[in-house]
Amino acid sequence: MGAFEEGFKEACEEFVKSNPQSKISCDTFWKMFTSAFVRKNPSKITPADYDNMLNAVPVITPQNKLLLYSGTDSDLLEFVLKDKTYVDVGRTIYGILDGIGLWCGKENSDAVLTDDCPENPYNMYWTAVSAGLAKKALGIVTVLLDGTLGYRSESTLAKDEVPNLDEKVTGLRVLMVNKDGVNGKNCGHESLKKLQDDIKLVHNIPYECRYILSTVLGTKSPADWWNVAQSG
């Protein structure tokens, strides 16, 4: 067993230990994950190559708990770990591959490679997982957006997540996160019109926006974020 496989399975077993309800076979997960790119030209991998993996080990997101984000500082996501209010992609089984490095295969070889790999297999994995996460969303979905950047058409949120929300989603709650000292009432951010148009294209998901300082996020439990945020 190579170091990459060993690290993958150790992280998977740790996830299963912490989430016994998941009932995931780490051997199956490894097999389905590697089948997406082994014996294939790494530059030609697409999100569809990961479909079998997502079908075998589906993304699970409890009702009203999915958290999506775009443009916000990665430090903010550490606050999500304070309690079990939200589940972001990092708290699913697929999050074990975050920061693990690149991977790829090559034609006519059964090897799983980690050296000199292009970014494409890695990028296509996260594209597929992001879409899969959105497809499984139930109830109210919460979105963290950078208060200055807003909703960007080139973001993963706009390209892969919002288009894959469906009628199982009953509401979208947007938290515009302002950096300390920049507390504008930015629920009027011009880009949010595009977000509202996009969710109307899906199935006219009910939408609400509030704004909050990043420093407040850090001092409050995630369960309280929406209640302490301000409308406007």
The pTM for the full model equals 0.92
Q: Residue 125 is part of which domain span?
A: 3-231
Q: Are 134 and 165 in contact (CB under 8 A)?
A: yes
- Note down pLDDT in tens along the chain; length 232 residues: 789 999 999 999 999 998 888 888 999 999 999 999 999 999 999 999 999 999 998 887 899 999 999 987 777 777 787 788 999 998 899 999 998 899 999 999 999 999 999 999 999 999 999 999 999 999 999 999 999 899 999 999 999 999 999 999 999 999 999 886 666 678 999 999 999 999 998 888 999 999 999 888 888 999 999 999 998 7
Where would I find the beta strands (DSSP E) of the chain? 67-70, 139-146, 169-178, 207-213, 230-231
The count of domains in the chain is: 1
CATH number of the domain bearing residue 17: 1.20.82.10
Kindly state the tokens that stand for 189.
Answer: 């951010």
pLDDT for 94: 95
Which pLDDT belongs to residue 95? 94
pLDDT given for residue 169 in this prediction: 96
pLDDT per residue over 43-79, tens digit each? 999 999 999 999 998 887 899 999 999 987 777 777 7
Hey, is 108 helix, strand or coil?
A: coil
Query: Mean pLDDT, the chain, as a whole number?
Result: 92
* Cβ–Cβ < 8 Å for 160, 130: yes
- Laid out side by side, the sheet with 207-213 consists of 67-70, 139-146, 169-178, 207-213, 230-231
Residue 180: the pLDDT is: 67
Q: What pLDDT sits at residue 49?
A: 98
Token pair 């006519």 in the structure block, residue: 108
